Amino acid sequence: MDDSDKTKEQAAKLINDLQDINFVKIVVILFAAWLIIFLAQKLLPILARNGPSKLRLTILNVVPIVRLLAVSFAILRIFPIVFNVTFQNFLVIAGGASVAIGFAFKDYVSSLIAGVVATFERPYRPGDWVEIDGDYGEVKVVGMRALSLVTPSDDVITIPHKKLWEQNISNSNDGQRTLMCVTHFYLTPDHSPALVRDLLRVVAMTSAYLEYDKPVLVMLENQPWGTHYKVKAYPFDMRDQFAFVSDITVRGKAALAELGIEEAAVLAPLENASRTL
């Protein structure tokens, strides 16, 4: 037997004969995996939305794990049905796949692998508020290749997981139900800073959205145009973060006006431009 015959035989063994491949079984496995993922993606967010608030993030976090398990299950079940799994064949397939990935699907596979890493390292989870590459929003979906953010302006932004390798990811709540909100006040210099600091602290303390178990802090710093105050506090539900900041702003301005304290009419440097309403 010459070399060409040997090569043909090996190639035939790499993939099982068509008559040996159980296509019905493959379809059933694919359908089962799809059904599990579909149900997890549809039902768990509903359960999270309508269930106890404390369990919302936990339930949402189950979705990517279920999807990863379902896809892994499907691949592991289908692979031996289609391929003749031997060590030699594995090397052949890995070699072929490496070339294909290296030239055509590098970014795609990089995102897929980053997605798997993200599932375990959890730099972001569904329900988290994150800032990636200047975009700030709530993580709605963590998919296999990318995640979807919904910004405060209700824009949906799709970001591939491979950003994980390249960018710093700022997670505001990191799986917690709350996150720190910063409310800014810019005041003219002629006032008592101690009085204003106490006043703004009490204003934050009396907000309806306040989380009791977290601290309320008021920071201030001198600026050439006056004093910049930052009220740092936590709402009990991070979905209320903008309502919380608005509430402190409205009532803080009213309380300052009662004391006759004027706000500075100068342009201040805009901080965290992406985290605006």
Partner 1 sequence: MQFSGRGCESCAESTRESTLTNTHDDSETLRGFQPIGQFKRPPMPTDESLRRVGWRLWRRLRGNPASDPFIAAESLSLANAKQLDKLAAPPACGPLLDELTTTFADWLATAEPAHWVQLVVLPPCDQSDVLRSWAVANKHSIVEPPERMSLLCRKACEIELDGSQSLLVLPRIEHWFLRHHLGLNQLQQLLNQLVEIKQHCIVGCNSWAWSYLSKAMQTQLVLPSPLTFEAFDKDRLRNWLTDLSTSDDHSSTFRFAKSGTKIFDEQAIPRATEDYFAKLAARSLGIPWVAWHQWRRSLKISSEADHKIEERFPHERTVWVADLAEVGIPSDNMQVGLLMLQSLLIHDRLTAAELAATVPDIQCSNVLAALLDAEIVYRDGHELRCDPAAYPAVRASLLAAGFPGDPL
- 206 lines the binding site for partner 1 (CB under 8 A): yes
Nearest-CA neighbor of 181 among 127, 269, 242, 252?
A: 242
Of the candidate residues 202, 217, 220, 264, the single one contacting partner 1 (CB under 8 A): 202
* Residue among 27, 85, 99, 250 that touches partner 1 (CB under 8 A): 250
Only segment of 27-35, 117-125, 126-134, 211-219 that touches partner 1 (CB under 8 A): 211-219
Interaction mask 176-195, partner 1, x per CB under 8 A: -x------------------
Residue 258 interacting with partner 1 (CB under 8 A): yes
203 binds partner 1 (CB under 8 A): yes
Number of residues in contact with partner 1 under rule CB under 8 A:
26
Task: Name which of residues 38 to 67 contact partner 1 (CB under 8 A).
Answer: 51-54
User: CB 177 → partner 1: shortest distance, Å?
Assistant: 6
> Is there a contact between 248 and 233 (Cβ–Cβ < 8 Å)?
yes
Cα 180 from chain centroid? 17
Q: Which residues bind partner 1 (CB under 8 A)?
A: 51-54, 177, 199, 202-203, 205-206, 208-213, 236-237, 240, 243, 246-247, 250-251, 255, 258
